[in-house]
Amino acid sequence: MPRFQLVGYILVLTLAVVVPRAAAGTVVFSSGGIVLPESIALAPAGFGAYAGNYLITDPGTGVIWSVPSSGGAPTMFAALITTSFNAGVFAPAGYGAFTGDFLVGRNDGMVAFDSAGTESVFSTTPGTVWYTGSLAPAGFGAYAGQPVYVGGIISVIGDRQVSAFAPNGTPITIADLGTSTATWWGTAFSNDGTTMYVGDFRSGTIEKVMANGTVLPFTTVPLRTYEMGIRQMAMAPVGYPDIGGLLIVSLGASDGGGGTYGEVVAIDPVTGQVVKSLRAGTYDNALDPRGIYLEPDGNVLIANADPAILQSASSDFLPGRANDPAATPEPGTGLFVLAGLGLAAVRALRRNH
């Protein structure tokens, strides 16, 4: 094979290997009525007519929405007495009258919703706001099976702690995150259950919290132009398609929704490095991500404050990160030029043989 033709083939193959493909799997899963979606939770069996549906907390409307497992238009599950609320989890067995209820963090405590959408007070903590949390897995010491939330004093910016909630609604402080300019938001547990990750929405900082109260630095994600910081997180189980074993993190682009250049990244829990990112919302599509839910079939649901619930395929997470939206040229431009030269070379030689 002539040298020039060989070079042409190499350039074409290079394009096929390294140019990121578009996130063709990203679609609108649910929209209409949703304004500022925060968390996504799957209602368990036994939760009345809503069992198997997704419950979406929406502080923008003061409504908790129900979305069918197959997607489609949302319907109202409950309207909150107060709109000052955040993310929700389902209470486990052993929580008395609250067992199986949907617990939602808010200013001054937490509220509970039964399967009929009736609201009651689960915990009263005057002056303290509870942002987001998860049920502690078996590996998290004495707090296993309990809702563990990050919260703090409303009047003191950055004064945050991680607390578990007992069945009677009493918060038990696990770790003090200190007073700083940080606004601790997203949480997720490691796959072995021993570590809780807590992210800062005012930066890209993520810390690790242990059941004994130890707080350790984990990583700081470099933020691109327009990104504010860590909003929500989810840990992909080992063996999950494409992103198994990675910490999935949403980087929000606004406080009140409507941001444009947010990002969802996948982080190696050992090195703390971003190894993949979702190619959606870059350059031409608004993405202001909040809550993340990993469906068993490999699809990823994203609460997008644009607003809508998006669904992406796990295969749309590609190595590395998209370029900063303020940078030019867009990623892949130079490779397209090289590919064009390669194809031209191949065609020219074919015409001469």
pLDDT at residue 351 in the model: 37
The DSSP secondary-structure symbol of 11 reads H
Closest by alpha carbon to 53, among 39, 63, 45, 43? 43
pLDDT at residue 322 in the model: 77
Question: Using CA atoms, how far apart are residues 22 and 35, in angstroms rounded to an integer?
Answer: 26
**% residues pLDDT > 70 (the chain):** 79
Rg value, the chain, Cα = 22
pLDDT tens sequence across 11-68: 333 333 333 333 446 899 999 999 999 999 999 999 999 999 999 999 888 999 999 9
pLDDT tens sequence across 130-141: 989 999 999 999
pLDDT at residue 348 in the model: 40
Residue 335: φ, ψ to 5°: -70, -35
Question: Using CA atoms, how far apart are residues 265 and 250, in angstroms rounded to an integer?
Answer: 7
Q: For residue 270, give every residue at least 6 positions away whose Cβ sits within 8 Å of its Cβ, in sequence order, or none.
A: none
Q: Which strands, in side-by-side order, build the sheet including 299-304? A: 27-30, 308-313, 299-304, 289-294
- Sort residue 283 into left (φ over 0), alpha (ψ -120 to 50) or beta: left
Take residue 143 and report the two structure tokens written for it: 């707090």
Does residue 77 surpass a pLDDT of 90? Answer: yes
Question: Using CA atoms, how far apart are residues 271 and 274, in angstroms rounded to an integer?
Answer: 9
pLDDT at residue 13 in the model: 35
Question: Using CA atoms, how far apart are residues 83 and 76, in angstroms rounded to an integer?
Answer: 14
pLDDT at residue 339 in the model: 37
Q: Pick the residue with more confidence: 188 or 25?
A: 188
Question: Using CA atoms, how far apart are residues 50 and 173, in angstroms rounded to an integer?
Answer: 33
pLDDT tens sequence across 189-237: 999 999 999 998 888 999 999 999 999 999 999 998 888 889 999 999 9
Mean pLDDT of the chain: 83
Does residue 252 surpass a pLDDT of 50? Answer: yes
pLDDT at residue 155 in the model: 62
Question: Using CA atoms, how far apart are residues 156 and 159, in angstroms rounded to an integer?
Answer: 6
Helix extents (H) in the chain: 3-18, 333-351
Does residue 327 surpass a pLDDT of 80? Answer: no
Does residue 347 surpass a pLDDT of 50? Answer: no
Does residue 304 surpass a pLDDT of 60? Answer: yes
The DSSP secondary-structure symbol of 242 reads T
Does residue 280 surpass a pLDDT of 80? Answer: no
pLDDT at residue 157 in the model: 58
